[in-house]
Amino acid sequence: MTASGAVPAGAGDFSAGAGALSAGAVARRLGVAVTTLRTWHQRYGLGPSLHEPGQHRRYTEEDIKRLEEMQRLIVEGIAPGEAARWVSSQPLPHYFRRPSPLVPHRDGGGLALGDAGPAARGLSRAALRLDGASIRDRIARAIRDLGVVGAWDTVLRPVLFALGERHATTGALIEVEHLLSQNISAVLGAIPRPRPGLPVRIMLACADEEQHSLPLEALAGALAAEGVPTRMLGARVPRTALTAAVRRTGPSALVLWSHTHFTADPGQLLAVLEEKARPLMVVAAGPGWPDALVPPGVGRPLSLAECLSTLTSPRFVP
C-alpha cells in the first residue's frame, strides 16, 4: 500500500474482502496499542485499505502482512520511518522471502543511545510514540529477563539519560519523560513486596529539593526482589523531616539520593550523623554528591549493584 492508501500493482493474491479486521482486532493480533496503529496510519500511510460506504475502514490480510513486516523491522532496530518506507515500496509477497537490506539506526528512533542494546532502543521508540502499553510491557520484560539492576543499568537508565540530554539541548520531550517515568514507577511499584511483619531496617529518601526519585524506586524494587523491605520517603525530604523519621523508626541504614550538586546538602548527612540513634550506615547515593563534601564515615556507592550488595549484607537483612 502506498502513502495515498492505494494497493500497489503486483501486490499478490491476497483477498481484500475476506477476513478483513477492525483496528482493535489487528492491534490484538500484533500485540500493539490501537494508538500505535493510528500513528502508523497517519504518519506513514500504513492503514486499512478496505473501505465500504457507511462503515469504518478495515484491514485486509495484505495490510496486516505489511504491518507485521513493519513490526519485525522495528524490532531489528530499524527506525520506524525507514521501516515504513521499505514496507510501502515493496510489492507483496517478495519482501517476505528475503532479509531486509536496511541497516539499523543507532539513534533509538530519535534519541542518542550510544551502544545501548535492542531492549533500550525498543523502549525509546515506544516512549517517543507515547505508547504507554508498550512502555510498560517492555519495562516489565526487561526486569523479568535481566533483573531490576540489569534492567536499570542497560535499559531504563540509558533511555532516561538520553531524554535528559535531549531536553537540556532543545527543551523538548517533557511529555515523553513524564510518561516514561510514570510507567517505570508503576512497574517498579508492582514488584511483589516482602511479607508484612518483617522488620524494616532500610530507609530511602531524596535530598531536600531533589525530585528525581526513580533511582531510589529502582533500589527499592531490587531490594524487594531480594526479599528485603524498605521504607521509602520519596522526593524532596527536608532536613527536619529526615531526622524526625530517623528518630521515629531507628533504621539500620539510610540512603540519601541527590541527582545534582544543587540538591546535595552535606548538612543533611551531618544532621543524621549527629542523631543519638544514628543508623549503622549512612549512604550518599547519586551523582550529585561531590566527594570532597561527603562527611567521613558516609558510604559512597558508585552503582545500583554496589548499593544493593551493601544493603543485603547480614547487618540489614532480617
> 289 vs 152, 200, 214, 241, CA distance in Å?
20, 26, 17, 20
Mean pLDDT of 306-310: 91
pLDDT at 8 over 60: no
Looking up cell 533500589 gives 219
Residue 32 has a pLDDT of 78
Domain 118-189, CATH number (from 3.40.50.450, 1.10.10.10, 1.10.1240.10, 3.40.50.261): 1.10.1240.10
Instruction: Enumerate residues 6+ apart whose C-beta is below 8 A from 315.
Output: 252, 253, 280, 281
pLDDT at 95 over 70: no
pLDDT at 76 over 70: no
pLDDT at 278 over 80: yes
Mean pLDDT of 233-260: 94
pLDDT at 52 over 80: no
pLDDT at 93 over 50: no
Domain definitions of the chain by residue range: 23-96, 118-189, 202-311
Across the chain, mean pLDDT equals: 82
Three-state secondary structure readout of the chain = CCCCCCCCCCCCCCCCCCCCECHHHHHHHHCCCHHHHHHHHHHHCCCCCECCCCCCCEECHHHHHHHHHHHHHHHCCCCHHHHHHHHHHCCCCHHHCCCCCCCCCCCCCCCCCCCCCHHHHHHHHHHHCCCHHHHHHHHHHHHHHHHHHHHHHHHHHHHHHHHHHHHHHHCCCHHHHHHHHHHHHHHHHCCCCCCCCCCCCEEEEECCCCCCCHHHHHHHHHHHHCCCCCEEEECCCCHHHHHHHHHHHCCCEEEEECCCCCCCCHHHHHHHHCCCCCCCEEEEECCCCCHHHCCCCCECCCCHHHHHHHHCCCCCCC
Dist CA 253 CA 112 (whole Å): 37
pLDDT at 74 over 80: no
The residue type at 7: V
> Can you say how many angstroms the Cα of residue 166 is from the centroid of all Cα atoms in its chain?
16
pTM, rounded to two decimals: 0.66
Residue 169 has a pLDDT of 67
Q: Which CATH architecture best describes the domain 23-96? A: Orthogonal Bundle (1.10)
CB 80 within 8 A of CB 74: yes
Q: Which CATH architecture best describes the domain 202-311? A: 3-Layer(aba) Sandwich (3.40)
* 13-17, 197-201, 215-219: the lowest-pLDDT one: 13-17
Instruction: Enumerate residues 6+ apart whose C-beta is below 8 A from 228.
Output: 194, 202, 311, 312, 316, 317, 318
132 vs 166: which has the higher pLDDT: 132
pLDDT classification of 228: cutoffs 50, 70, 90: very high
Mean pLDDT of 107-128: 81
pLDDT at 91 over 80: no
Mean pLDDT of 135-164: 93
Residue 75 has a pLDDT of 67
Mean pLDDT of 30-43: 83
Dist CA 200 CA 217 (whole Å): 16
pLDDT at 232 over 90: yes
Residue 84 has a pLDDT of 82
Dist CA 36 CA 39 (whole Å): 5
Residue 316 has a pLDDT of 58
pLDDT classification of 237: cutoffs 50, 70, 90: very high
CB 208 within 8 A of CB 236: yes
97 vs 286: which has the higher pLDDT: 286
CB 304 within 8 A of CB 287: no
